[in-house]
Amino acid sequence: MENISPALLEWFYQNRRILPFREDPTPYHVWLSEIMLQQTRVAAALPYYERFLAALPDIPALAACEEEKLHKLWEGLGYYSRVRNLQKAAKIVCAQYGGQLPADYDALRALPGIGDYTAGAVASISFGIPVPAVDGNVLRVFSRLYNDPGVITEPAVKKAFTARVMEHQPPEKAGDYNQALMELGALVCVPNGAPLCEQCPLAHLCAARAAGTAPELPQKAKPKPRRIQPVTLALLESPEGFLLQQRPEKGLLAGLWQPVLWENESLSAEETLARLQAMGLDVRGTRPEALPAAKHIFSHIEWHMGGIALRLPAQAAPAGCVWASREALKTTYTLPGAFKAYRKRML
Ligand code: SF4
């Protein structure tokens, strides 16, 4: 196949979206944006990106940020391990590299939370190093361009596609080329059905277009079915606010706050009251109100939630819990998106 980069780059310079991390692509900006964009669309991520940078303008500020504030800045983006890894990496960067990300692919790749793709994006976009940055967008474009039915979730296929990506990369424009491929995948060679081939600068080269197979590509492995977990919640309100409990330091939603709950259990109102009493709470004479059922999907687990709401008299919070006022819920404590269905009621 003839080299795609001239047509691709020309299209990119004329059609690229103006994005803050593109206008000022410092290593920190590119790194932060790539981590945010891993599970979030560009339009949704932009306000978070601006807010995060206003609060933590550089890597030393990120390294020094207090955990509760860090979680609050990420609230709404989900997948909180991403921001915890950002901070872990920032601390290493401060200790080992004087607070600046290293201009070296392998050194970037060795930092927590930075995989092949993010290391490639920072190295090529910010430092101009000719390395690949292959995400789902790029795999989709190449799968169609070569009409290759390889299953892109398989490491050997990804490796072979990456080698093709590099065959076309102009070393002096590595960052622009990588971004152009991602942009083409995001704007033109779009997922889920028919791509916009009539707008594509590579249409004359595209084998899947010629064969009429583009909508069926790329091939992906079937996702594993998610595990369904019942969860019983107790939404407890007293004159001091709502009772929140902190999740364990490791595992799902590590260290974040939640209403009192029991995972893997579908408890009746009576059983829930007994559990609350066992925690040391005075629930005598209260009348439980049933909470509406809600569902939250994590990548591999599905929570099916239900439970009770209760109004309690003023009393001390049990160990590991706090009474959080509505103001503190807005400004201090991070309530994960899993509890979105109950959040409105709490705020
Ligand atoms: S011609 Fe269509 S299928 Fe081929 S790369 Fe362009 S948008 Fe994708």
Q: For position 66, which CATH number holds?
A: 1.10.340.30
Residue 208 lies in a domain: yes
Ligand 1 mutation pick, 144, 161, 198, max ligand atoms within 8 A of CB: 144
pLDDT of residue 299: 83
Q: Which of 2, 10, 34, 66 is catalytic?
A: 34
Residues 128 and 206 in one domain: yes
Residue type, 331: T
Residue 17 lies in a domain: yes
Q: How far apart are CA 9 and CA 121, in angstroms?
A: 17
- The last residue of one of the domains, among 193, 216, 239, is 216
Residue 221 lies in a domain: no
Residue 19 lies in a domain: yes
Answer whether residue 55 shows pLDDT above 90: yes
- Ligand 1 within 6 A of CB of 189: yes
Residue 108 lies in a domain: yes
pLDDT of residue 78: 87
Residues 20 and 95 in one domain: yes
Residue 51 lies in a domain: yes
Residues 22 and 96 in one domain: yes
- The last residue of one of the domains, among 154, 183, 216, is 216
Which ligand 1 atom sits closest to the C-alpha of 217? 3
Banded model confidence at residue 115, pLDDT cuts 50, 70, 90? very high
Which ligand 1 atom sits closest to the C-alpha of 140? 8
- How far does the centroid of ligand 1 lie from the alpha carbon of residue 288, in Å? 57
Residue 285 lies in a domain: yes
Residue type, 176: D
Q: How far apart are CA 11 and CA 182, in angstroms?
A: 12
Q: How far apart are CA 193 and CA 211, in angstroms?
A: 15
Which backbone phi and psi does 323 adopt, to 5 degrees? -90, 120
Residues 260 and 126 in one domain: no
Nearest CA to ligand 1 atom 1: 203
β-pairing, 227-238 with 257-263? Answer: antiparallel
Residues 36 and 118 in one domain: yes
Q: How many domains does the chain fold into?
A: 2
Residues 76 and 202 in one domain: yes
pLDDT of residue 79: 87
Banded model confidence at residue 342, pLDDT cuts 50, 70, 90? very high
Residues 165 and 60 in one domain: yes
- Ligand 1 within 6 A of CB of 209: yes
Q: Any catalytic annotation for residue 67?
A: no
Residues 128 and 267 in one domain: no
CATH number at residue 284: 3.90.79.10
User: Is the peptide bond between 195 and the residue preceding it cis, with omega within 30 degrees of 0?
Assistant: no
Q: Which residue has the higher pLDDT, 272 or 192?
A: 272
Residue 238 lies in a domain: yes
Handedness of CA 14, 17, 23, 24 (dihedral sign): negative
Q: Which residue has the higher pLDDT, 24 or 345?
A: 24
Banded model confidence at residue 293, pLDDT cuts 50, 70, 90? very high
- The last residue of one of the domains, among 158, 185, 216, is 216
Structural contact between residues 252 and 301, judged by C-beta atoms closer than 8 angstroms: yes
Residues 164 and 67 in one domain: yes
Angle made by CA atoms 62, 67, 72, in degrees to the nearest 5: 90
Banded model confidence at residue 347, pLDDT cuts 50, 70, 90? confident
Structural contact between residues 333 and 244, judged by C-beta atoms closer than 8 angstroms: yes
Residues 110 and 183 in one domain: yes
In tens, the pLDDT along 83-111 reads 999 999 999 999 999 999 999 999 999 99
Answer whether residue 1 shows pLDDT above 90: no
- How far does the centroid of ligand 1 lie from the alpha carbon of residue 208, in Å? 7
Domain range enclosing 273 = 227-346
Considering just the CA atoms, what is the radius of gyration of the chain in Å?
24
Residues 102 and 199 in one domain: yes
Banded model confidence at residue 66, pLDDT cuts 50, 70, 90? very high
Residues 200 and 73 in one domain: yes
In tens, the pLDDT along 136-188 reads 999 999 999 999 999 999 999 999 999 999 999 999 999 999 999 999 999 99
Query: Any idea which of 223-227, 240-244, 265-269, 311-315 has the lowest mean pLDDT?
Result: 223-227
Longest CA span, the chain: 78
155: left (phi over 0), alpha (psi -120 to 50) or beta: alpha
